[in-house]
Structure formats: C-alpha cells, structure tokens
Amino acid sequence: MRVLAVDEWTARADAHVARVDALLDDHPRRLPDGRDHPVWQFLFRYYSHKPARLRRWHPGFGVGLAGAPDHRDWPHYVRVDEASTGPVVTVGRDHLDARRDAVDHVTRLLAATAGRAPRWNCFGLHEWAMVYRDGDARRHEVPLRLGAAGTDRVVERQGLRCTHFDAFRFFSDDAVGRNARPLSRDTQVTSEQPGCVHAGMDLYKWATKLEALVGSDVVVDALALAFDLRELDMRASPYDLRDLGFAPVTVETPRGRAEYVAHQRRLADRAAAIRRDLLDRCRSLASATTVGEPLPTPE
C-alpha cells in the first residue's frame, strides 16, 4: 500500500474541492429565476451524482491516508494498522470485490469503444430526433430555433446515424425507424464509438460509479470534459439558446456541419485520453481482484 502523509493528502483534497467548486460555479444548475438551467442541469439530473458527493476526494484503491479521521465517516473505507506508519484508512477490499461486475463491464465497454474508428457524420442530430414530428415533446422550456416543421425537415434531409443507445432510446416514435441501425442495451458494447459526444459524456458516469476505486482526479477530468461536450451538444441542438449566451452550431447548413465536426474531433481527442486513463485504472482493479493484491493508483 502507498501511504500519503497528512499534509500531502489534505493538500490534494483541498485542491480537489477548489477545482470542483470552480467548475460548479462556472456551470450553474439553476437559472437566476430558479428554473433548471437547460444546458447544465442535465449532467446532475441524468447522471445522478450530487455535488456533495463530487466534492469528496478519493485517492483511489491501494492508497492509504495517514492520520485520517475515523473510517466510519468514510464510506467504503477501512482502518488498517501499518507497521511503518501506524493506522491509516484506505478503500476496503470488500468494496472492490462488490464492484467487480461494474469494473468488468466498464472495462469491456471502454476497450471496445477505444478500439473502433471514430465516426464524424451524425452531426449531433439526436436532439432533433427526440422532437421529430412531436414538437410538443420538447425536453427544455425554450423554443425550437427553426420551429417544429423546420426541425422535421432537417431530420428528413440529413438522416439519422446515432450510435449511442442512451440517446437513441429518447427518439420520438417516428424517428426510431429513421436511424441508420437499430440500437439496444444488449448491443451497446458493439455499437459505441469514440467520436460520439454522448460516449464522451458517459466517461463521467463510469468514473463516478467507481469513484472510490479509480480516484477523484479522473472523475473531475471527465466532468470538465462532459461540460464542454454538453455545450456542443446543445449548441448543435434544435433549441434556441442564444438568450443564455449559446450561439447555435447550425448543423442544418454545410458550414455548421463542418463547425460541429471540428469541435467534435477536438473533444474526442480529450475523451480518448481520459478513456485510456480510466481504462488503465479499471484494468489495474481487475488485476488486483484476481491476484488478491492492491495496486497503487496511477500517478
């Protein structure tokens, strides 16, 4: 076990809280009038990870904290007596064993996604498909930029090539059959690809599900990326968000589609680095479960 001295881990924990608070301040969940922010609230509602949990720092499995408070105040942690340092708290092996299925699933999904070539021809039309021929089913209390009929025409002209099931499952009934291929939960591992904006956002979901094991640094890296991906997602959506400062990416035009792909490629590069990091940590956890020895969290 790698043991962090009190001054080292408390400094890291303080830096973590400061980084999280800055991100949350820059991306408020509520508008000044108290309504949900149509762009940022999604990341907290859909991924169900509360800010209070996000602010709690975790060093990752295989790292001990010297001089830490009573481990009963630290979910999933246990107290261990180290001969060289005295008592420390660390994530318990029981928690790792309990999360083995989740570690295996995330490892398979991330490895499969990373192994595919990215696709750049969806143009973010999943949000358009969710209101296709059903303009009253808007997911946000803001108007459609082109109106219902104009939104429908874009879907019919451009076609739908979504590869992400958790976007596809919200398509309107009339849009489902227009997708290039049907998607299901069972085929998620075989259809996910690294150019997808939502696959990049989901890195935050997978990191939070394993946060005590993989460590908080990769969780916040994934959150920062998710905010930027969400911004692109909504700027390219059919919603008119200009009053909130979000200039549209007009994917109904050739120029807008080129702009979308340029942003998509840049963000996919960032997602690839975080995906590799998270995958490496998951593989280390799987190995630790197999051989029965805790492995240190990557630097």
How do residues 104-143 score in pLDDT, each as one tens digit?
Answer: 999 999 999 999 999 999 999 999 999 999 866 667 778 9
Q: Is the pTM of this model over 0.85?
A: yes
Angle between helix 100-114 and helix 197-209 axes, rounded to 10 deg: 160
End-to-end CA gap in the chain:
14
All structural domains of the chain with their residue ranges: 2-291
Q: Indicate the average pLDDT of the chain.
A: 92
Instruction: State pLDDT tens for residues 69-100.
Output: 776 677 899 988 876 767 899 999 999 999 99
Instruction: State pLDDT tens for residues 201-233.
Output: 999 999 999 999 999 999 999 999 999 999 999
* Alpha-carbon span 199 to 163, nearest angstrom: 9
DSSP 44: H
